Chains A and B, each alone.
Chain A
Amino acid sequence: MKKVLSVIAVLIIAAGIIFAQSVNEQKSGQRTLTVYAYDTFCGDWGAAGSVIPAFEETTGIKVNLVASGAAVEVINKVRLEGKNTSCDVILGISDDIADKAYDLLESYDSPYIKTIDERYVFDAQNRLIPYDYGAFAFVYDTESGIQPPTCLADLTKDEYKDKVILIDPRTSSVGTGLMMWTYNALGDSWLSWWKTMTENALTTASGWSSGYGLFTEGEAPIVISYTTSPVYHVMWENTTRYQALLFSDGHETTIEAAGIVKGTKHRAEAEAFIDFLLTEAQIDLANANSMYPVNSTIELPAAYDYAPVPERIFTGSSDQASELLTLWTDAIVK
């Protein structure tokens, strides 16, 4: 008897926990919208924490936010779900993987697109609408005492042996970005840069989290990241210790975009969401994602002074990325 009671008690508690977590899911009779985004976007510390509630309040549309790992998984998911997908909007697709998503999306010529800096509108058909962008850059620790490098070639010098943390292009979008950057900036010698660097660098991490973690733990004073990385440290840690380096070669950018899924049953709500992203959400997005807003009229907080804006930029396409990856693998690994 005791055993039965305790089993029932456990089941009730379990049900309670699960129920409490699902309480936020949609009530019927309301306008709804389902958005798929990558993990970091969702969750309390992500942009979703501020953007979604604001959107819901302003428009009265209930957002069903579904998180899936990295941006690429979002695409995978929608593709796998096929016609049954409940997704209306996908969010967080960067330009280097855009090609893989186009066939899933329908165009939307939002009236706010004209507020976006031209350089960042990478899809003429407006299937993917950009909402923020970032530039890859090496970040360094000013307290480490090293002489900051000024261009990509500098990093291959002896003085930087074991002082640089790179990220593997095969497993991380930051790594892919770095690879594209070297290709765009260095031309034919990009592969020999990598060959030298794989020996000269301290390590090639599997992803941005581990790579940047190694950096902040002091394992090496230079790491590949974004020009906006220092903003976080200024705003939340009150330190200007970490600074982004602008290189003379120019910088690779990554542009994040959102798009409306083909066959959506909530087209009007989806459009409202995209518009919101391009207007009221811009500041929140930039802050939370540590990126720049695409809307050039937005004023950024003072901390963004520490995120230098590169003059010369490169953008890439996902086809290019795949080809380059194969070349890279052949040269470095085989």
Chain B
Amino acid sequence: MDKHDGFYKRMALPALIITTVVFILPVGAVFLRSFSSGSNLNQTFTDPYTWRLLAFTVWESFLSALISVLLAIPFSVFFSRYTFFGRKAILTMSDAAFALPAILAVLGFVIYYGNNGMVNNALKAISGGRWSVKILYSFKAIILAHVYLNFPVAFSLITSSLSSMPDVEEKASRLLGASGIRTFFRITVPKISGTILATFTLIFLFCFPSFLIVMSLGGNPRFFTIEAEIYKRTYTDVNPAGSASLAIFSFLVMALLLVATGYGRDERRVRRSTHVLIKATGKRLAAAVALCIVIFIFMAPPMLAILYRAFFTRDGVFTLKAWADIAARSRLGTGTSLGAVLNSLLIASGSAIISVNMASAIAMGSVRTGSRFTTLLTSLPMAIGSVSMGLGFSFIAARMPLRNTVISYLLVLAAHVVVVMPFAVRSILPGARRIPERLPLAAKTLGGDSREAYRLIERPLLKPYRRRAFAFSFALSLGEVNATLALSEGRVTTIPILIYKMINQYNYQGAAALAVILLTIAITMFAIGETGGDEYAVS
């Protein structure tokens, strides 16, 4: 007899089914199409060109992930140990980069690091036109942009993992005379090795389907990823079957990686947290300030560059024209700015709320039933790039008998939920793991049933994690564009779609202004998410 009466299984099951179905449908559609005529699945798998693409894609993803993680570790160690003024602000700002769609990262980078960008203009001004540095349009620019977008992920995940671990072992090590470095490598690193691997995998999977950044900032047609090739086969070749075969190939590679890194593997159960943040003073405070400055210098400028561009033309003339443009079109309806903002908010809230609730059920269920399969299953959507996902959804959309605005909304919402779920689950799992099983069992000895125990005892303890999951899900949904484009059919315009339209209309200022709105919303969300830390110490 299951001591929980199968409650957790029953709770997680509907959420699991929904997530799987909504995910399986587009994947299945792509899968089926890759076997249809016009494609040659076998050929795709054996074509050396495919493998060359794979080699490049793997290489750029690997480097990006490695550097992001390595860079984040020292910062995370410091931030998880000490508290100081501005700590939360830096964490929030770093999180906000998560919501940046690739096109904005490119825009920000170009404005800041470009040959005619702020950095170069400053150098030229200082040196009288002699100094300049070509940062972009090279392989290292790709890595730089990827690290920029993913450092926050690594920083955030590793910091939160370290923060929730007691540092007793480290203290013991120091007392025994080991130096800080030795303690770090011998004690701390093994403890977080699970998190580091999971973070690395996550970032790898983010960078794998990247193509806008690779192509625009890479500077050379040789830099071409598998996802870019999928894009080409879909939109240039008009060969949906061919792109489907490649999409399946790509999916298999990424899924294999997920499984191989044991992504569903149970992390060590951490129960009691004896981890209190020490207030940094003196030398440590100086170090804190230095670290904050470094992060700020790395993370802020591209976003600030966009902010600048929203108010100044490229010639440096201050103007509010972009904002006037946006406000002028502010009536409800497709393709207008207020409409786009409302749509984005609506869809982001919807996907975040749905995902957080489903993710809580799944996370709690998987922890209590000890099922690793569940976590793996919900992580699978990360193995699909957004172009492929958009492809799959468009196959489905084509089959639907009835199409109107409401259907488009629902499809977009479904796609966003699929994209967002793995992160929601991932954010809530540590919280679920920290709740000792004793608590719901104790509740049951007092006469309450499992549902009541979950509602009154376990879920309140998940609150800070749910908040975080909500913030990340919201931000991710805000920035999602590829799948949305494929499904909206012009009926649903979100902020990123509008940004693309603006850019297509030569209106970079408008795009920058919208980007500012996007970032402001994202930062607000994250600020809310970061406040209220671990409210309830679990005893």
- The answer to whether A and B touch directly, with their CB atoms under 8 angstroms apart, is yes
- Of the listed stretches A118-126, A206-214, A263-271, chain B binds A206-214
Answer yes or no: A152 CB below 8 A from chain B CBs.
no
**Would you call B249 an interface residue if the criterion is a C-beta within 8 Å of the partner chain's C-beta atoms?**
no
The answer to whether A69 and B504 have CB atoms under 8 Å apart is no
A275 and B336 CA atoms in complex are apart in Å by 29
Check A24 for interface membership: any CB of B closer than 8 A: yes
Contacting pair B332 A21 (CB below 8 A): yes
Q: Which single residue of chain A is at the shortest CB-CB distance from B235?
A: A72
Ordered by A's residue number, 19 sampled pairs between the chains whose C-beta atoms are within 8 Å are A17-B342, A22-B406, A40-B505, A42-B335, A43-B493, A67-B489, A80-B394, A81-B398, A162-B134, A162-B137, A168-B215, A170-B224, A170-B229, A203-B219, A206-B211, A210-B106, A214-B110, A217-B117, A333-B224
Q: Say whether A203 contacts B116, CB under 8 Å.
A: no
6 additional A-B pairs beyond A22-B406, A76-B238, beta carbons within 8 Å, are A17-B332, A25-B404, A210-B215, A211-B216, A219-B116, A322-B237
- Set A20, A208, A211: member contacting B332, Cβ < 8 A: A20
Neighbouring B residues of A217 by C-beta, 8 Å:
110-111, 114, 116-117, 314, 508
**Contact present for A220 and B115 (CB under 8 Å):** yes
**CB-based contact A45/B505 at 8 Å:** yes
Please measure, in the bound complex, the distance between the C-alpha atom of A329 and the C-alpha atom of B219, giving whole angstroms: 16
Closest-by-CB residue of B relative to A163 is: B115
Of the candidates B238, B488, B504, B508, which one forms a contact with A72 in the assembled complex, judged by CB atoms under 8 Å apart? B238
B221 contacts partner chain A, Cβ-Cβ < 8 Å: yes
A285 to B395: give the CA distance in the assembly, Å.
Answer: 31
Contact with A along B456-490 (1 / 0, CB 8 A): 00000000000000000000000000000110111
Query: Complex: how many Å from CA A209 to CA B507?
Result: 10
Identify B501's interface contact among A45, A203, A216, A322, CB under 8 A: A45
Which B residues touch A218, using CB under 8 A?
A: 114-116, 314
The interface centre, meaning the residue of A100, A172, A209 with most chain B CB atoms within 10 A of its CB, is: A209
Give chain A nearest CB distance to B320 CB in angstroms.
16
The chain A residue with its CB closest to the CB of B406 is: A18
A158 at the interface (CB under 8 A from B): no
With contact pairs A81-B398, A333-B221 given, residues A22 and B404 touching in the complex (Cβ less than 8 Å) = yes
Contact size range, A:
35 or more
CA distance A198 to B222 in the complex (A): 9
What are the 10 closest A-B residue pairs judged by CB atoms, nearest first? A67-B490, A218-B116, A22-B405, A80-B398, A206-B215, A203-B219, A43-B335, A170-B232, A203-B137, A209-B503
Residue pair A21, B491 in contact (C-beta under 8 Å) = yes
Whether, in the assembled complex, A309 has its beta carbon less than 8 Å from a beta carbon of chain B, the answer is no
Residue of A nearest to B103 (CB): A210
Q: Are A216 and B314 in contact (CB under 8 A)?
A: yes
Contacts of B137 in A (CB 8 A): 162, 202-203
Q: Which residues in window 340-381 of B have CB below 8 A to A? A: 342-343, 346, 350
| CB-defined contacts of A325 to chain B, threshold 8 Å | 236-237
**Given A20-B332, A68-B489, A219-B110: A198 in contact with B220 (beta carbons within 8 A):** yes
Q: Is the CB of B404 within 8 A of A334?
A: no
| Nearest chain B residue, comparing its CB with the CB of A71 | B235
Given the interface pairs A17-B342, A203-B137, A203-B217, the reply to whether A171 lies near B332 with Cβ below 8 Å is no
Taken residue by residue from 308 to 345, chain B's Cβ proximity to chain A (1 for < 8 Å, 0 otherwise) reads as: 00000010000000000000010011111001001100
Please name all residues of chain B whose beta carbon is closer than 8 Å to the beta carbon of A17 when the two chains form the complex. Answer: 332, 342-343, 346
Which residues of B are found within 8 Å of A274, using beta-carbon distances?
Answer: none
Complex contacts, B501 vs chain A, CB 8 Å: 39-40, 43, 45
Question: Does A315 lie at the interface of the complex (its beta carbon under 8 Å from any beta carbon of B)?
Answer: no
A67: chain B residues at CB < 8 Å are: 488-491
Which of B103, B238, B409 contacts A18, CB < 8 Å?
B409
Tell whether, in the assembled complex, residue A202 and residue B335 are in contact, meaning their CB atoms are under 8 Å apart.
no
Q: Is A44 an interface residue (CB 8 A)?
A: yes
CA distance A44 to B502 in the complex (A): 11
A232 at the interface (CB under 8 A from B): yes
Chain B residue nearest in CB terms to A86: B403
* Contact residues in B for A82 (Cβ distance below 8 Å): 398
Residues in B whose Cβ lies below 8 Å from that of A205: 215-216
- Contact residues in A for B332 (Cβ distance below 8 Å): 17, 20-21
Which A143-192 residues have a C-beta within 8 angstroms of B? 162, 168-173, 176
Q: B238 contacts A332, CB within 8 Å?
A: no
Q: In this assembly, does B291 line the interface, its C-beta being within 8 Å of a C-beta of chain A?
A: no
In the complex, residue of chain B having the shortest beta-carbon distance to the beta carbon of A172: B236
Q: For the complex, what is the distance from the CA of A162 to the CA of B504, rounded to whole Å? A: 24
Known: A21-B332, A22-B404, A75-B238. A66 touches B116 (CB 8 A): no
User: Does any Cβ of A come within 8 Å of B240's Cβ?
Assistant: yes
- With most chain A CB atoms within 10 A of its CB, the pick from B234, B406, B501 is B501
User: Within residues 397 to 420 of chain B, which ones have a CB less than 8 A from any CB in chain A?
Assistant: 398-399, 401, 403-406, 409
A84 within 8 A of B: yes
Whether A14 sits at the interface, judged by CB under 8 Å, is: yes
CB neighbours of B431 from chain A (8 A): none
The chain A residue with its CB closest to the CB of B215 is A206
Whether the pair B329, A44 counts as a contact (CB closer than 8 A) is: yes
| Contact A329–B490 (Cβ < 8 Å) | no
Chain B residue contacts of A303, Cβ below 8 A: none
Give CA–CA (A194, B49) in the complex, Å: 19
CB of B257, distance to nearest CB on chain A (Å): 24
Contacts of B399 in A (CB 8 A): 80-81, 84
Instruction: Tell me which residues from 218 to 237 in chain A have a Cβ below 8 Å from any Cβ of chain B.
Output: 218-220, 232-233, 236
Contacts of B212 in A (CB 8 A): 206, 210
Contact with B along A241-271 (1 / 0, CB 8 A): 0000000000000000000000000000000
CB of A188 to closest CB in B, whole Å: 20
Contact A206 B216 (CB under 8 A): yes
Q: Are B404 and A209 in contact (CB under 8 A)?
A: no
Task: Tell me the bound Cα distance from A205 to B141 in angstroms.
Answer: 14
- Cβ-defined partner of A69 (8 Å) among B215, B333, B485: B485
Q: Mark A44-72, 1 if CB is under 8 A from B, else 0.
A: 11000000000000000000011111101
How far, in whole Å, are A89 and B341 apart by their CA atoms in the complex? Answer: 31
What residue of chain A has the Cβ atom nearest to residue B499's Cβ? A209
The reply on B200 being an interface residue by CB < 8 A is no
Q: Is B52 an interface residue (CB 8 A)?
A: yes
A171 touches B235 (CB 8 A): yes
Kindly report which residue of chain A lies nearest to residue B228, judged by CB atoms.
A171
The reply to whether the CB of B218 lies closer than 8 angstroms to some CB of chain A is yes
A106 interfacial by beta-carbon distance below 8 Å: no
Chain A residue with the shortest CB-CB distance to B110: A217
A80 touches B240 (CB 8 A): yes
Distance from B30 Cβ to chain A, minimum over Cβ atoms (Å): 12
- Beta-carbon nearest neighbor of A175 in chain B: B236
CB-based contact A202/B329 at 8 Å = no
A69 with B228: CB separation less than 8 A: no
- Chain A residues in 8 Å Cβ range of B508: 213, 216-217
Are A73 and B506 neighbours in the complex by a CB distance under 8 Å? no
Q: Which residues of A contact B336 (CB under 8 A)?
A: 44
